[in-house]
A and B are shown apart, each in its own frame.
Chain A
Amino acid sequence: AQKVTQAQTEISVVEKEDVTLDCVYETRDTTYYLFWYKQPPSGELVFLIRRNSFDEQNEISGRYSWNFQKSTSSFNFTITASQVVDSAVYFCALRRGGGYNKLIFGAGTRLAVHP
């Protein structure tokens, strides 16, 4: 069975703090894809990143970075020097390989960044 767990329901930080959002996944597939999406208060779902299971390199994009570790089945997301505009619900998601199209989402982590 495929499952994504985001154990942190809500995180509250002060601006400029670094924050890490945890994501743990379960799958028996050797080929799979992991995603992060952002849902700001305006409600749209914004794609942030996609990784395939064969690419364990960490990725950095500006203040955002992702740490993919197959050994612990984790795909954590770190925001460095957080800003108020980072306040949103963040979703981690998993998709099986082999042509399966379903994206399975975690329950989301609500991040509140205070000035």
Chain B
Amino acid sequence: DTAVSQTPKYLVTQMGNDKSIKCEQNLGHDTMYWYKQDSKKFLKIMFSYNNKELIINETVPNRFSPKSPDKAHLNLHINSLELGDSAVYFCASSQSTGELFFGEGSRLTVL
């Protein structure tokens, strides 16, 4: 069983559309994250949830809205997609100060 799984793996869409990425973890961790990896491979945190509560919200446009229905799921919805949103989005989970376990990434391409 995959520990952290995210879907879809690939998204190709037009500017202005809305899209969602789903993430689920079966590790029993209490904290989940979204990271964005740009074309230069730089990894930057976007959001973090602890037991369904938002605890980190970096400077991210409000077109990005995370939702955590329970502590095993963290979804990311993006409205009005822009060219600059093209990136790989990684979901991750951790327990307390432990290491982060990452999903395989979702590559978003905005045309």
Contact = CB atoms under 8 A, between A and B. Distances in A.
Contact of A99 (B44, B92, B97): B97
Given A101-B31, A101-B50, A43 B100 contact: no
Interface in B88-102: 88, 90, 92, 94, 96-102
B100 A103 contact: yes
Contacts of B94: 101
A44 interface: yes
Interface residues of B, number: 26
A103 B43 CA distance: 10
A77 interface: no
B99 A47 contact: yes
Interface string A41-58: 001110100100000000
B42 A108 contact: yes
B66 interface: no
A50 B44 CA distance: 19
Given A43-B104, A105-B42, 10 more contacts: A37-B102, A43-B105, A43-B107, A95-B97, A101-B55, A101-B56, A101-B94, A101-B97, A107-B41, A108-B43
Interface of B: 31, 33, 40-45, 48, 50, 55-56, 88, 90, 92, 94, 96-102, 104-105, 107
Interface of A: 33, 35, 37, 39, 43-45, 47, 50, 89, 91, 95, 97, 99, 101-105, 107-108, 110
